[in-house]
């Protein structure tokens, strides 16, 4: 990833942790002047970064604003493609809308659009999504898998497995579960939603847009009253502040890993991982589709990611898309 020079400098301080870096060494390494280094440090300080000058040693990064900017995310990344191009915005109508435009313009596989807040965030069925500024992860990943359109819905389940594992890597006090098809719950309350949209031709996927909204550092008063009984955040459940850039990077690390696994070995290994983390399988549920309401026991998902529900009479019905309520 080719970061802007300011972010290249910041990334070096993030990786150096508390080790001083001299202005001259930065200038030599990056091929710029000492004056240019100083100007970039001034810009970073205006953005909220705090540097301390250590005599005869250089600068040390002592304070960071809480932002999900590219330099902070990439300091935790281990991917080859995902997150190597990050479009960071302070405010946006919807990361999904920006990603649509970028995908049509031909951006690379794994490009990320991420913002501190969305003014018109959306979930499934165009429902509004509350995007508290600076408190959550509001992002869309553009991926370009070589799969037919019929396999696109399975990437929602791939993303769910990646998100659960990312959350587990930064939070230790609870275990998130997946509610089919696109929600992550903690103790029955929603903390994450996934919205997968597709740009496709008749026989091939041009791009998948995986929109992800994670309630990270909200406290209960940050949610509107109508959500306070059904929503939660990672911070509330962990009882600690969440490092959002680290969470984003872990998510991208797992999303690339499991996307590659799916392309290479098919849905079977993803299905096993999904069922391990499912909070739906084995439960009595009510599934509301566009045509009917189905009540029964969720018994598993098929190789196509379809939810199987066993009715009281023993009949098994497959559900492709529905709102799920656990009874």
Query: For the whole model, what pTM was predicted?
Result: 0.85
Both tokens of residue 61?
């990064």
Q: Which of 16, 36, 63 is the last residue of a domain?
A: 63
151 closest CA partner among 205, 81, 212, 89? 205
CA distances from 59 to 6, 48, 49 (A): 15, 15, 12
CA distance 20 to 52: 9
192 closest CA partner among 182, 207, 205? 182
Positive or negative, the CA dihedral 207, 208, 209, 215 is: negative
- Residue 118 annotated as lining a ligand binding site: yes
Instruction: Note whether 56 and 176 are same-domain residues.
Output: no
**Could you tell me whether strands 50-54 and 284-288 are parallel, antiparallel, or unpaired per DSSP bridges?**
unpaired
Cis peptide leading into residue 181 (ω within 30°): yes
262 closest CA partner among 304, 211, 317? 304
Instruction: Note whether 44 and 164 are same-domain residues.
Output: no
Instruction: Note whether 253 and 175 are same-domain residues.
Output: yes
Instruction: Note whether 17 and 41 are same-domain residues.
Output: yes
Instruction: Note whether 49 and 87 are same-domain residues.
Output: no
Instruction: Note whether 75 and 223 are same-domain residues.
Output: yes
Residue 19 belongs to domain with CATH number: 1.10.10.10
CA distance 134 to 216: 9
Q: Which of 277, 300, 315 is the last residue of a domain?
A: 277
**Could you tell me whether strands 293-301 and 284-288 are parallel, antiparallel, or unpaired per DSSP bridges?**
antiparallel
Residue whose tokens read 């005869």: 56
Instruction: Note whether 119 and 245 are same-domain residues.
Output: yes
Instruction: Note whether 229 and 107 are same-domain residues.
Output: yes
* pLDDT score recorded for residue 322: 82
CA distances from 213 to 118, 195, 200, 263, 300 (A): 10, 9, 24, 24, 25
Instruction: Note whether 12 and 38 are same-domain residues.
Output: yes
- Residue 228 annotated as lining a ligand binding site: no
Instruction: For residue 101, count other CB atoms closer than 10 A to its CB.
Output: 10
* pLDDT score recorded for residue 318: 87
Q: Are 192 and 163 in contact (CB under 8 A)?
A: yes
Number of domains observed in the structure of the chain: 3
Q: Are 313 and 325 in contact (CB under 8 A)?
A: no
* pLDDT score recorded for residue 128: 62
161 closest CA partner among 257, 67, 97, 40? 257
Phi, psi angles (nearest 5°) of residue 221: -70, -15
Residue 288 belongs to domain with CATH number: 2.30.30.100
Encode 86-148 in three state secondary structure.
Answer: EEEEEEECCHHHHHHHHHHHCCCCCEEEEEEEECCCECHHHCECCCCCCCEEEEEEEECCCCC
Instruction: Note whether 302 and 253 are same-domain residues.
Output: no
Instruction: Note whether 155 and 227 are same-domain residues.
Output: yes
Which string of b and e fits 286-311 if b means at least 16 CB within 10 Å? ebeeeeeebebbbebbeeebbbbbee
Instruction: Note whether 58 and 99 are same-domain residues.
Output: no
Domain that holds residue 57: 5-63
User: Mean pLDDT in each 10-residue stretch from start to end of the chain (327 residues)?
Assistant: 80 86 90 91 88 89 88 92 94 94 95 93 62 90 92 91 96 93 91 92 89 95 88 95 96 97 93 90 88 89 87 88 82
Residue 126 belongs to domain with CATH number: 3.30.930.10
């Amino acid at each position: 990833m080719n970061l802007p020079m300011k972010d290249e400098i910041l990334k070096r301080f993030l990786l150096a942790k508390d080790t001083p870096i001299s202005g001259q060494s930065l200038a030599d390494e990056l091929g710029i002047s000492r004056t240019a280094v100083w100007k970039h440090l001034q810009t970073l300080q205006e953005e909220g970064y705090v540097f301390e000058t250590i005599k005869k040693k250089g600068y040390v990064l002592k304070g960071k604003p809480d932002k999900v900017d590219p330099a902070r995310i990439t300091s935790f990344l281990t991917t080859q493609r995902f997150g190597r191009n990050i479009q960071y915005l302070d405010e946006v109508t919807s990361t999904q809308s920006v990603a649509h435009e970028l995908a049509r313009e031909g951006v690379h596989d794994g490009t990320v659009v991420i913002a501190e807040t969305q003014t018109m965030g959306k979930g499934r069925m165009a429902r509004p999504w509350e995007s508290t500024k600076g408190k959550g992860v509001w992002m869309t990943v553009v991926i370009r898998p070589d799969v037919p359109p019929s396999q696109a819905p399975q990437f929602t389940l791939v993303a769910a497995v990646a998100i659960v594992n990312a959350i587990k890597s930064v939070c230790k006090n609870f275990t998130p579960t997946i509610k089919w098809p696109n929600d992550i719950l903690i103790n029955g309350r929603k903390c994450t939603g996934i919205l997968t949209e597709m740009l496709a031709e008749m026989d091939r996927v041009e791009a998948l847009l995986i929109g992800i909204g994670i309630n990270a550092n909200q406290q209960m008063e940050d949610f509107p009253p109508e959500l306070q009984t059904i929503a939660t955040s990672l911070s509330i459940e962990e009882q600690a502040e969440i490092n959002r850039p680290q969470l984003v990077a872990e998510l991208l690390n797992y999303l690339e890993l499991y996307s590659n696994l799916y392309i290479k070995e098919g849905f079977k290994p993803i299905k096993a991982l999904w069922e391990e983390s499912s909070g739906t399988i084995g439960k009595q549920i009510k599934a509301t589709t566009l045509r009917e309401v189905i009540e029964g026991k969720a018994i598993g998902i098929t190789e196509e990611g379809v939810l199987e529900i066993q009715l009281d009479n023993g009949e098994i019905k497959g559900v492709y898309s529905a709102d799920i309520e656990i009874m």
